[in-house]
Amino acid sequence: MDLVAGADNIIVTMTHASKHGESKLLTECSLPLTGKGCIKKVLTDLAFIEIKEGKFHLLERAPGVSVEEIIKLTAGELVVPEHVPEMMFSE
């Protein structure tokens, strides 16, 4: 069964790195794929990222997380704008 059939906007939530500190945001997936190229956005414990043209585009960073930390823990190509806002949460 294809879990992403007919979906227009797939958002994945996950940890940014493994428990061993290895990036989970890779240049290429090494596991079997349910749907190739269908993920539009990724929300991790460190950042909110959009995927466009095979690249990760950093949109926001989690509170207290530096852009440098996100760069260090992203194995795939990461596009970083001049200003990356910190996520805002309301109560």
Mean per-residue pLDDT pooled into runs of 10, the chain (91 residues):
70 95 91 80 97 96 97 97 94 79
3-state DSSP assignment of residue 56: strand
Is residue 90 one of the residues assigned to a domain? yes
For residue 77, the enclosing domain spans: 38-91
| HSE-up of residue 62 (Cα within 13 Å, Cβ side) | 11
Is residue 20 one of the residues assigned to a domain? no
How many distinct structural domains can be found in the chain? 1
Is residue 23 one of the residues assigned to a domain? no
Helix (H) or strand (E) segment spanning residue 31: none
Q: Which pair of tokens denotes residue 38?
A: 């269908």
The pLDDT assigned to 1 comes to 45
The pLDDT assigned to 67 comes to 98
List the helix and strand counts (H, then E) for the chain.
Answer: 1, 5
Residues ≥6 apart with Cβ < 8 Å to 53: none
